[in-house]
Amino acid sequence: MRRGGSGRKKLQYIPGLSVVESALIRIPKYDNRCLFYAIAVARLYNRLMHDTDGDDDEEKRKNRARTAYNQVERLRWNHKRLAETAIEMMESAGIPQGLPVYTHEHVKQLQDSFDRGYPETFRIVIFGEKSGHKSLYNGGVISKYNLILYHN
C-alpha cells in the first residue's frame, strides 16, 4: 500500500560526485553560444541573490530568492535578450561571433575581460559530468560572485 508523497524517487546523493538536478538552471540550446548564455544567466542570478543591504532577515531572503528566480526565468526564455547579453559580453572580451564551437580559451578571454572591467567581482568555474571535484575550467581568484557552471 502506497502512502502519500509525490511519487518521486528519493535521490541518492553522493558528496562530491552527485549533482542535485533540481538546483540546476537549464539553458536552452538555441545555438552554439549556449556557454555564454549560461554565464549571462549565472551572472544575473548571483548579483540578484547575493547583493544585500546588510539587514538580511528570512523574509528578505525569500523575497530576494523569488525575485532572482523570476528575473532568471525571464532572461532564460527570452532568446533575443539572452542573445544580446551574451553578444555584448563576447564583444567586450574580443571573442569573435559565428564560430562553429567555443572552447575554454574563449572562456579565459571572457574571464580576462571580467577581471579588467570588474576586478575580483566575477570568477567563472566550469565542472563536467565526469569531472567530480576537479573543475574543467577555473577562473582563478575567488571573487565576490563565483559563476559555477555544470556542463553535461
CA pair distance 87, 33, nearest whole angstrom = 9
Q: Which residues of 40-54 are buried (b: 16+ CB within 10 A; e: fewer)?
A: bbbbbbbebbeeeee
* Per-residue cell: 145: 560572485
Answer with the residue of higher pLDDT: 9 or 147: 147
pTM above 0.85, yes or no: no
pLDDT at 69: 83
Q: What is the pLDDT of residues 86-132, one digit of tens each?
A: 999 999 999 999 899 998 899 999 999 999 999 999 999 988 877 76
Q: Which residues of 124-147 are buried (b: 16+ CB within 10 A; e: fewer)?
A: bbbbeeeeeeeebbebeeebebeb
44-51: average pLDDT? 82
Phi/psi-derived region of residue 46, left when phi > 0, alpha when psi is between -120 and 50, beta in every other case: alpha
Answer with the residue of higher pLDDT: 62 or 51: 62
Q: What is the pLDDT of residues 4-15, one digit of tens each?
A: 444 555 545 555
Answer with the residue of higher pLDDT: 82 or 92: 92
pLDDT at 85: 92
* Per-residue cell: 70: 523570476
